[in-house]
Amino acid sequence: DTGVSQNPRHKITKRGQNVTFRCDPISEHNRLYWYRQTLGQGPEFLTYFQNEAQLEKSRLLSDRFSAERPKGSFSTLEIQRTEQGDSAMYLCASSLVGPGTNEKLFFGSGTQLSVL
Amino acid sequence: AQSVAQPEDQVNVAEGNPLTVKCTYSVSGNPYLFWYVQYPNRGLQFLLKYITGDNLVKGSYGFEAEFNKSQTSFHLKKPSALVSDSALYFCAVRKADKLIFGTGTRLQVFP
């Protein structure tokens, strides 16, 4: 069962540094989502892709955040000039959308970012 | 605006007893509602969804949820709790092409 894979699992960085996370979705899935989760909160939507097209970005996603899905397969999320407030679990999810599909999101285990 | 609320941060129940985890929703139009579970160090897992049809929806691991339009609720239920059900449970509503999650309820099942 090749589920959604996220790397790294943990990332510790100093304030001001850039970080990049990777997500490998389930291979046939055409939608890919990024969420952020902080302690005591539910996942908050950041952005999503339909194949390689980025279709929506949350207002939570400042200019320091950029996401790509260059070939419609894996995706990267980069945070530039990290701030302590960026510390969170970053979750990736994928789904297959189309006629007859069940709208189920499959989540990865997340990347825990700590900004010191 | 589409949103869900989970009024309880934690629910404690003894093993073998029925459990209920509450969720209320606020939506315009017909709601598409979901429940997900998060075990420690694991990704969120889909439990069940309501789109249309029967108000009682059956899902994974023996869970079910009851859609109540008059009370705008979508409570998660299980007739007999297991210790292994202890986890974080999230209610969610679909808004456009994404899910909006509640703040979560921690379920603790005691032996």
Q: State pLDDT tens for residues B65-106.
A: 999 999 999 999 999 999 999 999 999 999 888 999 999 999
Q: Do A103 and B42 touch (CB under 8 A)?
A: no
Asked if B30 and B95 count as a contact pair (C-beta separation under 8 A), the reply is no
Q: What share of chain A is helix, strand, coil (3-state, %, to 5)?
A: 5, 50, 50
Q: Which residues of A touch B9 (CB under 8 A)?
A: 40
Question: What kind and span of H or E run contains A13?
Answer: strand A10-13
Predicted confidence at residue A68, as pLDDT, reads: 96
| Closest-CA residue of chain B to A91 | B43
Chain centroid, CA B44 distance in Å: 12
Predicted confidence at residue A103, as pLDDT, reads: 75
More confident residue, B85 or A100: B85
A33 CA to chain B: closest CA distance, Å? 8
B19 CA to chain A: closest CA distance, Å? 21
Q: Do B43 and A4 touch (CB under 8 A)?
A: yes
Locate the DSSP E strands across chain B. Answer: 3-5, 10-14, 19-21, 24-26, 33-38, 44-50, 56-58, 64-68, 73-78, 87-95, 98-101, 105-110
Predicted confidence at residue A95, as pLDDT, reads: 93
> What's the whole-number mean pLDDT along residues A42-63?
93
Average pLDDT, chain A: 93
Dihedral sign of CA atoms B70, B55, B108, B91 in order: negative
> What's the whole-number mean pLDDT along residues A7-32?
96
Predicted confidence at residue B40, as pLDDT, reads: 85
> What's the whole-number mean pLDDT along residues A34-41?
93
Written as six digits, the tokens of A62 are 């400042």
Q: Which residues of B touch A103 (CB under 8 A)?
A: 32, 49, 51, 94
Q: Indicate whether A88 pLDDT > 90.
A: yes
Residue pairs spanning A and B at CB distance below 8 A: 58
How many percent of chain B have pLDDT more than 70? 100
| Closest-CA residue of chain A to B41 | A109
Q: Indicate whether A98 pLDDT > 90.
A: no
